[in-house]
Structure formats: C-alpha cells, structure tokens
Amino acid sequence: MLTTSMTEQGNCMTLLDAQEGMEYIVAGIDTQDEELNAFLFSLGCYSGQPITVVARRAGGCVVSIKDGRYNIDRQLAAAIRI
C-alpha cells in the first residue's frame, strides 16, 4: 500500500481530497474545538498517525485509524489535514 503525505503532494489536503484505499499521514487537525480535538485524539487521530479512507458516503466517509473503523461527517473530514 502506498503512503502519501502533505509534503509529497506539495500542498495541503484534507480527508475530503483523499483517495479511497490509500494510506495518508495526519498532518494536523484544523479546529479550535477542544472537545473535538480530545475526541479525535481518543480515536488515535493526531499528527503523525496513519489514516485511510475506506469508503465514501453521502454525508462523509468511513476511515480506518489504528485498529478501528469510524464513520465521520464531511465537516470533520474537512478539519483533518493529510
């Protein structure tokens, strides 16, 4: 499986830009909401961690983080930089 990062792409991407099935590295989380940051951290979604978009859905996408799969909405996906 290929791994892609923000520096390899040359620009800032979010999970909305990610291709299904490709593994990316989380570059950061763009939110001022501390509860959201704490929630994502509890899932294992923080800078330097791998993340994969497993499937796209109308309201967001299904992602694989560590050993779990999570359904996240478009707003949250837009906040996760890869």
* Whole-number Å distance between alpha carbons of 20 and 67: 17
Please give the share of the chain, as a percent, with pLDDT higher than 90: 77
Amino acid at the residue 10: G
pLDDT digits (tens, 9 = 90+) for 7-16: 444 568 999 9
Please tell me what DSSP assigns to residue 19. P
Q: Which amino acid is present at 52?
A: T
pLDDT at res. 12: 82
Which pair of structure tokens corresponds to residue 66? 């560590």
